[in-house]
Amino acid sequence: MKRNYIIALTLLTLLLLGCQVQTQEARPFTIGFIPAERASELTPKAEQLASFLEQELKVEVEVVVPTSYEPLMEGLRFAHIDAAFMDSGPGWLAHKSAGAEVVLAELKNGNPFYYGEVFTTKDSGLASLEDAVGKRIAFTSWTGSSGFILPMGTMVKRGLVTVEGDDFASLEKALQDQFESYNVAGGYEQALTLLADGKVDIAGGAHDAPEKFLSEEDQAKIVTLERLGKVPSHPIMVGQHLPEEFKSKFVTAMLKLNMPENVHIIKELYGVDGLVATSTQDHLGDFGPAFEALTGIQDKVLAKKTKAKS
């Protein structure tokens, strides 16, 4: 009797798995895109990708270009959206709240990430990130990945900065109370210029920002205080409901966009070089915990929209 029950249960499980795959192949595969200020400009480029995927996956493909991140995150959670291009912060939130997983990442200049660093001047006397607390600090913007989220999130995560409260105002108060001053400068060049001019003691930014935005004279004044970790490119995520077999087919199809005859599709969409297969841990492992450590940052990041490329 017990043996018959086990056999019946096994057959039912296989039947349900088969129905899951069949259901996926029978209904449209839905892919979401990063919220855009001018969705009408992005949509035709997204539909070009959909046409390519229809040929590769042999199913109907629908595109969703929302006005905010909530539809993407909820869609992944409740299986209304199968895959989505995301920004790093919302991607981490989708992973934590909906179980979505990173399967691909965009390549820019051949890499799926750049490094976030904290810079100081050669004569500052600072030896580590621990020395930064209580000093004058410059950030690029409240939502800057390497210019705010990674350096501030790392300091909070390490216990160097204490935030009392669970909203963004609490984060701002921690900055006011635990640094001599802070400046949200507006960009890499502005933050690093403040540093080179001696108006702040430390500044966060991309590892290659000094050579891109400063003169050789100003570059010579600053050094890296600490390399904090990887700042990821846009991840492409899939919902946990997607069958493994179909997930593999999707990744294989998307990697064909790297071929010379197809790469224009992804270039026109987001101006990137191509795609690479990856995982949540490999791609978001440095950034995600730092992002999660910052109270209230979620609302600011979720409100961001991209500008469609012309």
Tell me the CATH number at 33: 3.40.190.10
Mean pLDDT calculated for residue range 284-302: 90
Residue 96 lies in a domain: yes
Separation of alpha carbons 24 and 33, rounded Å: 20
pLDDT-derived band of residue 268, with 50, 70 and 90 as boundaries? Answer: very high
Can you give the pTM of this predicted structure?
0.84
Which residue among 232, 252, 270 closes a domain?
232
Whether residues 155 and 290 fall in one domain: no
Whether residues 101 and 243 fall in one domain: yes
Residue 10 lies in a domain: no
pLDDT-derived band of residue 38, with 50, 70 and 90 as boundaries? Answer: confident
Residue 252 lies in a domain: yes
pLDDT at 141 over 70: yes
8 A C-beta contact, residue 227 and residue 266 = no
Mean pLDDT calculated for residue range 190-197: 97
Whether residues 210 and 223 fall in one domain: yes
8 A C-beta contact, residue 175 and residue 160 = no
Q: In terms of residue numbers, what domain contains 95?
A: 29-109+234-302
Whether residues 119 and 227 fall in one domain: yes
Whether residues 253 and 194 fall in one domain: no
pLDDT at 308 over 90: no
Which residue among 204, 232, 260 closes a domain?
232
> Other CB atoms closer than 10 Å to residue 182's CB: what's the count?
19
8 A C-beta contact, residue 174 and residue 162 = yes
Residue 19 lies in a domain: no
Whether residues 221 and 249 fall in one domain: no
